[in-house]
Structure 1
């Protein structure tokens, strides 16, 4: 058997490989192989490190967007937040059933790692001393989103509007392509960092739904379910026609390689919540209704939505939706669980095997 010395791979090839890494854990593992691999990785990794992002000044309207040149605008730093399920090393998992940990991780402009609750926008976790060796732990990357931090103006300056959601894509070392869901105007926007101009994603309804990354590109859904994909050249492609007579809020999430749409209805007089679920049929360009999630658990948060199998979570069953009630009613911040088998939702605190996935960290860490 021929033994291959992987440290002898060409520097150019290693550099290209590192450009395609899109989260901190994989980059850490890449750089841990040997000194050659570490030295060959991209020094300023646009997929991970914060980069400058121009802030929009109001008032303005859709037809004025493309006249805005970002050179004279103040900026913030766009930081990437990754969502992980951290599990114990394989040998520990085989010995006993150990609870995993759901966490949101980001690096600030000073290179410091920060931990946040996965479902809530502004929810930094208490500072604790943790040593997470990602080379030994089993880590599932569940999704990512971007946030504006360390801006150079005061947040109480009413002239500037911070986006509701932001996703950014870097094409093999090029300047990032950013898709933005602004608070105003209601249409989603595109920005190719470096060219200094905004672009409106046209033909979307006046009510924004959600935005996410799927198969490496931004997908945007409006309030009536019409969905588009943004390509590398900023071109916009229809991927799903609108739904008819559906819910009030839309959320996109990837699940086992499929794109799901959660259609959330406003609470009724009894404060009951219902969610219809759909899967994208890319060939027919339509949303197909799902009757069950199987063993999957779907998480709907203020900042990102994702799904995980019940077996990976070490919980008894799937086919349920865990959500922050604030996505429906901004005055409520509790977490809830909707059991799709029983058709009712309950406080997440009533189900400790699910609520303990978030906090505190498991004892084995």
Structure 2
């Protein structure tokens, strides 16, 4: 059967106007012709590598909010106990539950769900810690690769309390890493390296190539010791150009939130590092930071939809009652690195205690 190329070209023009991944997926679900157009569009490497993240928000059910379309999409996500969600990486949502033992011993059970594909959840070996402090137990969970495409070759990194732990698929247990009591704030993978960023901007690296050989010993190299003061939060993010950036979230004169972005500079042996002068512009990068993997998107690819030189982050605030109870409000704040201005998008009235924070999610194309 001869293709109607004129019709396909027209459909391609329509698809080019759909920036939200959900709309692209629904477009391809209409019929076979529309699906072929969607697949052809997805073969474009630039578009495939520049996915506009959506915001997963806790309502009656988990929903997705589109930054570009300013639309909330209601879904029934197959995630039991989603109130224990604590992060998202490669489309996998992480949930936890705990079991107490004697002498304040606490086992942390981590389960990963991919609500966007028909795959079984992954349950990881338990982590043991000694604390009765539950809130903020796992501030960060990240994956080196998608377990669907790399079922035997992915690594999980977890920050819990003052410790960084890593787990390689197929290994029986976690490898825990601590460094002189420093508090880890963020962690990310870069090839066979995992970087851990501490509260005082000390950057630690570990070569994970040994994990493929079954060895579970690890060596940590301190490659940066910054004299910066402590911040509210620091994030690691890889730019579109492949550089490693540190994003600092801090108070400006104790009144408003501001951000500063620094570029990591490594030598050829990746042994010495320094944070160069903070960036005055993000170039084509637009950053999305939060409790999940931080994401870079192209301002030019989403021209008119994203604000250039901007950092999108989720601002949360607790409101207490006279009875000691509290609820939380949140909105998306957009910080401009060039002029320091802030604007807001999507203000949610409130959500109850113990409901998970909103998460940036990069949806897979399916």
Deviations 1:13-41 (A, max 9, x none): xxxxxxxxxxxxxxxxxxxxxxxxxxxxx
1:318 deviates by 1.2
1:201 deviates by 1.8
Residue 233 of structure 1 corresponds to which residue in structure 2? 210
Counterpart of 1:274 (choices 258, 274, 297) is 258
Q: What is the number of residues matched between the two proteins?
A: 236
1:328 deviates by 11
1:149 deviates by 3.9
1:259 deviates by 1.3
1:325 deviates by 0.9
Is the counterpart of residue 261 in structure 1 residue 246 in structure 2?
yes
1:127 deviates by 4.0
Is the counterpart of residue 242 in structure 1 residue 188 in structure 2?
no
Which stretch of structure 1 is more off in the superposition, 333-342 or 228-237? 228-237
Residue 206 of structure 1 corresponds to which residue in structure 2? 182
SS at match of 2:225: coil
1:19-98 pair list within 5 angstroms: 98=17
1:207-222 pair list within 5 angstroms: 207-215=183-191, 217-222=193-198
1:193 deviates by 4.6
Q: Compared with structure 1, are the counterparts of its residues 150 and 198 closer, same or farther at alpha carbon in structure 2 (3 Å cutoff)?
A: closer
Deviations 1:112-153 (A, max 9, x none): xxxxx7455757224469xxxxxxxxxxxx973754348697
Q: Compared with structure 1, are the counterparts of its residues 121 and 250 closer, same or farther at alpha carbon in structure 2 (3 Å cutoff)?
A: farther
Q: Residues 229 and 239 of structure 1 are in contact (CA less than 8 Å); yes or no, is this contact kept in structure 2?
A: yes
1:9-20 pair list within 5 angstroms: none
1:210 deviates by 0.5
Counterpart of 2:166 (choices 177, 190, 198) is 190
Counterpart of 2:90 (choices 122, 138, 144) is 144
Could you say which structure has the higher strand fraction? 2
1:93-112 pair list within 5 angstroms: 98-101=17-20
Residue 308 of structure 2 corresponds to which residue in structure 1? 318
What is the rounded CA distance, in whole Å, between the counterparts of 1:344 and 1:327 in structure 2?
20
Residue 296 of structure 2 corresponds to which residue in structure 1? 307
What is the rounded CA distance, in whole Å, between the counterparts of 2:303 and 2:10 in structure 1?
16
Q: Residues 119 and 304 of structure 1 are in contact (CA less than 8 Å); yes or no, is this contact kept in structure 2?
A: no
Is the counterpart of residue 334 in structure 1 residue 337 in structure 2?
no
Q: Compared with structure 1, are the counterparts of its residues 177 and 295 closer, same or farther at alpha carbon in structure 2 (3 Å cutoff)?
A: closer
TM-score (normalizing by structure 2): 0.52
Q: Residues 120 and 302 of structure 1 are in contact (CA less than 8 Å); yes or no, is this contact kept in structure 2?
A: no
Q: Compared with structure 1, are the counterparts of its residues 218 and 128 closer, same or farther at alpha carbon in structure 2 (3 Å cutoff)?
A: same
SS at match of 1:273: strand
What is the rounded CA distance, in whole Å, between the counterparts of 1:276 and 1:221 in structure 2?
16
Residue 287 of structure 1 corresponds to which residue in structure 2? 275
Gaps of 5+ in 2: 1-7, 23-52, 64-72, 77-87, 109-136, 212-217, 320-326, 348-359
1:173 deviates by 5.7
Residue 74 of structure 1 corresponds to which residue in structure 2? none
Gaps of 5+ in 1: 1-88, 104-116, 130-141, 351-357
What is the rounded CA distance, in whole Å, between the counterparts of 1:292 and 1:260 in structure 2?
12
1:276 deviates by 1.0
1:200 deviates by 2.5
What is the rounded CA distance, in whole Å, between the counterparts of 1:213 and 1:199 in structure 2?
16
